Amino acid sequence: MNSSVLPHSASGRVYFVGAGPGDPGLLTLRGAQYLSEADVVLYDELLDRRVLELANPAADKINVGHRGGDGRRSLDQIFELLITHARDGKRVVRLKGGDPYVFGRGGEEALAMREAGISFEVVSGVSAASGVLAYAGIPLTHRNMAAVAVLVTGHEDPTKDSPSVNWQGLAALDATLVIFMGNRRMADIADALMAGGRAATTPTAVIEWGTWPSQRTVTGSLQTIAGLVKTAQVQSPALIVVGEVVSLREHLSWFEAKPLFGRRVLITRSREQSGALQLLLESEGAAVTALPVLDIRAPDDWSPVDTAVSDLARFGWIVFTSPNSVDYFCQRLQQGGRDSRAFGGISISSVGEATAQALRLRGIEPDLIPEKQSQEGLVEAFDQVAVAGVSILIPASSIGRTLLDDALRKRGAEVSRIVAYQNRPPEPSQVALPAALEKGEIDLFVFASPSSVHHFLTVVGDAGKAMSSLTNGTIASIGPTTSRALTEIGLQPAIEPAQSTVPALVTAICAHYESLPGPAR
């Protein structure tokens, strides 16, 4: 890699980066920079894989994590991998959950680099002690309740003759206790603290998968928590919190109160267009899985577009039928050395608000936007426009409907439809179906175009549980044209916004689920 292009990191160095406790949004800016430049990434098992999407695509990504003592790699083997890759002149990121120096064995790995003469840096991460508690609505400290917080490992057996942790001493402290890796010994830990003098009524919480969409919080007292955890079948990773601050959860819980918290959502847009929709859904608490079923690309032959661009002044109207049609047509216009001034004297129509917004970003305000955001709506809107003898250009996709063309030609317009971009399904063999889809674990399917409906069927085919999940799950459609494509194959969308825009779609999804009981947690 060229260090002049990538100035943040240096070759032959190891970067210990804390990824935070789960939510990818908790990764630090510096950590993201180093990830984007890494040649090799060694990552822990308990990481949200979306964090890895921030890594350099060409990086060698190696899972070296442990979970439940599975023994994937020994610490010595991890040392060897770090040293070998660094000595090969690679930029090496050791991506660790939480903070590398808080029960992450980062200190041991860093010492091994020092002994081997390998340069290293440490990028602190959001520790579970602060991040998980915040997402559970529990402050680590509070002026009126806890001025001291203690982080402790619960991995050892507190009943052994000489435990490393002084549980009796901890019990005597007027402090919040945050216990890592203690879920399996919950009963013994609670008993040890009560034996040391901590009140049996002390509020206690256990937080499973903290900051993840599957987060679950069990609360009780020090005396009851072990039984509650057993009944709820809480699994690792889980964090134990003991202290009066736990009582504030009923007032401060926010993450688990989001309208889409715990809902498993599949979106079917192209990879390039999934970002905004995914971010909005995740901001409302959804666990989002993306299945790119659209392959959007430039046309094989640009000559029809170039011909239209060179003779743009002859058109009285240009009708844009999607944001993609705006993007590809305007990009080609700019490549020819022209800009939005080329549209001077031409009336512009947009099929809906999303397409109108794409035009506005280029300094173009549409003259006509139909009330019904569809081709049918455009036909109705053009009923009020004199089109006889008018040349109308429609830059569209390779599979666009021609309803509007036919209606305008019947009224005497000269219609030129050109392929501004291709919309194809990816090769099924090149698409890995998400595990949640194959297991039938999707709650909501979101479709944002008719082509996403058709391409979904092409990609998924008759993949058993995947199709069963679709027919049994809830379906959201961005608008009437997409809904029609769904009904044509026997599926009925339960959610359709009044406006065919991504924000309106997410708002409609939230309103739908706010009227329902929350998912089982």
**Does residue 6 have a pLDDT over 60?**
no
Q: Are strands 176-180 and 238-242 parallel, antiparallel or unpaired?
A: antiparallel
Percent of the chain with pLDDT over 90: 65
pLDDT at residue 465, rounded to an integer: 62
Q: Tell me, yes or no, whether 4 lies in a domain.
A: no
Higher pLDDT, residue 104 or 179: 179
1 pLDDT band, cuts 50/70/90, is very low
Q: Tell me, yes or no, whether 8 lies in a domain.
A: no
3-state SS, 235-294, equals CCCEEEEECHHHHHHHHHCCHHHCCCCCCEEEECCCCCCHHHHHHHHHHCCCEEEECCCC
228 and 143 in a single domain? The answer is yes
Higher pLDDT, residue 65 or 27: 27
pLDDT at residue 470, rounded to an integer: 77
310 and 394 in a single domain? The answer is yes
pLDDT at residue 173, rounded to an integer: 94
Percent of the chain with pLDDT over 70: 94
Average the pLDDT over 433-438 and give the result.
80
90 and 104 in a single domain? The answer is yes
Number of structural domains in the chain: 4
440 and 374 in a single domain? The answer is no
- The pLDDT mean for the chain works out to 89
354 and 335 in a single domain? The answer is yes
Domain boundary among 365, 389, 424: 424
Asked if 450 contacts 479 with a C-beta cutoff of 8 angstroms, the reply is no
Q: Tell me, yes or no, whether 28 lies in a domain.
A: yes
Q: Tell me, yes or no, whether 337 lies in a domain.
A: yes
pLDDT at residue 517, rounded to an integer: 72
Q: If you ran DSSP here, which 8-state letter would residue 425 be given?
A: P
Q: Tell me, yes or no, whether 481 lies in a domain.
A: yes
Q: Which helix (H) or strand (E) holds 92?
A: strand 91-96
pLDDT at residue 520, rounded to an integer: 47
112 and 61 in a single domain? The answer is yes
**C-alpha–C-alpha distance, residues 38 and 354, integer Å:** 36
420 and 431 in a single domain? The answer is no
252 and 221 in a single domain? The answer is yes
Q: What is the pLDDT of residues 465-504, one digit of tens each?
A: 667 777 777 999 998 889 998 999 888 999 999 888 889 9
68 and 186 in a single domain? The answer is no
Q: What CATH number does residue 52 fall under?
A: 3.40.1010.10
197 and 289 in a single domain? The answer is no
290 and 304 in a single domain? The answer is no
Q: What CATH number does residue 159 fall under?
A: 3.30.950.10
Average the pLDDT over 371-397 and give the result.
91
**Does residue 521 have a pLDDT over 50?**
no
Q: Tell me, yes or no, whether 148 lies in a domain.
A: yes
The amino acid sitting at 288 is V
Q: Tell me, yes or no, whether 270 lies in a domain.
A: yes
Domain boundary among 83, 111, 126: 126
Q: What CATH number does residue 281 fall under?
A: 3.40.50.10090
Domain boundary among 391, 424, 457: 424
Tell whether omega for the bond before 237 is within 30 degrees of 0, i.e. cis.
Answer: yes
444-447, strands of its sheet edge to edge:
287-290, 264-267, 444-447, 474-477
Q: pTM to 2 decimals?
A: 0.76
**C-alpha–C-alpha distance, residues 343 and 364, integer Å:** 8
Residue 195's domain comprises 130-257
185 and 150 in a single domain? The answer is yes
Instruction: Give the range with max mean pLDDT: 3-12, 407-416, 442-451, 510-519.
Output: 407-416
204 pLDDT band, cuts 50/70/90, is very high
Q: Tell me, yes or no, whether 136 lies in a domain.
A: yes
